[in-house]
Amino acid sequence: MHRQSVDTLKEPWFAGLIALAGLLAGLVLWGLTTILSRAHLAGNGWSLSGNGVLIIPFGLGPAVVAGGWAAIILRMRGHPHWLRLGVGSGLIGLSLLAASLLSIVAFGPAGRDAGATASLFFGFLLYGWLLASAITAAMIPAPDPPRSAAPVWFVAAILLLPVTLIGGCEAGAGLLPT
C-alpha cells in the first residue's frame, strides 16, 4: 500500500513534467521552423520557406504528441519500457513525416500530382498515427496495477501535452518572429 501512495504522489509531478516537455518541444519546433524558413532550403519543385516550412510544426508536432501519448499511456499502465516504446512511437511518426516530404522530392516537378498525392497519403497516415499510437499503447500487454482512484493526472498529462506544445509554438512565435 505504501508503494501505491508514493506512486500517487509522483503523478502530479509527471503531469507537470509532461507540460514542461510540451512547452519546450513547442519552443524547439518553432525555433527550427524559423531557422529553416530563413535558410531558404529549396529544390526542384519543393521549398522549405514560406508555407512549405509549416511541415515542421504540423508534421513534427503530431509525431511528438503520438510518442508522448504512447509513453504516458504505457507509464500509466505500469509498463517497464514506457519511455523506450514512446520514443519508438515518435520515431514512427517521424518516419511518416519523412516519407511525406521525400515523396515530393522523389517525384520531382514532372510527377507533381503523384508527389502531392503521396505526400498527402503519408500526412494522413501521420495524423492517423496519433490515434493508432494511443490505441496500440493501450493494447500492449502491461502489468496494469490496481488503482484506488481514477488516473486523473495521467489524463491531465495526455491533455496537457498538445496544449503546451501549441503554447510553446505560440510563445516561440512571439520570441522568434519569422
- pLDDT per residue as tens digits for the range 85-144: 999 999 999 999 999 999 999 999 999 999 999 999 999 999 999 999 999 999 999 999
pLDDT value, residue 2: 39
- Residue 76, burial from CB neighbour count under 10 angstroms (0-12, 13-18, 19+): buried
Residue range(s) defining the domain that contains residue 130: 2-175
Q: Which residues contact 171 (CB under 8 A, 6 or more apart)?
A: 23, 26, 27, 30
- Spatial contact of 153 and 10, defined as CB atoms under 8 Å apart: no
pLDDT of 3 over the 50 cut:
no
Better pLDDT: 5 or 89? 89
| 78 confidence band (pLDDT: 50, 70, 90) | very high
Which residue in this structure is represented by grid cell 527550427?
Answer: 32
pLDDT value, residue 175: 87
Percentage of the chain exceeding pLDDT 70: 94
Q: What residues does 62 pair with on adjacent strands? A: none
Q: What residues does 171 pair with on adjacent strands? A: none
Please give the C-alpha separations between residue 164 and each of 22, 28, 90, 93, in angstroms, as whole numbers.
5, 12, 17, 19
Per-residue buried b or exposed e for 129-157, using 16+ beta carbons within 10 Å of the residue's own CB: bbeebbebbeeeebeeeeeeeebebbebb
CA-closest candidate to residue 20, choices 161, 170, 155 = 161
- Give the pLDDT mean for 43-70: 92
Count structural domains, the chain. Answer: 1
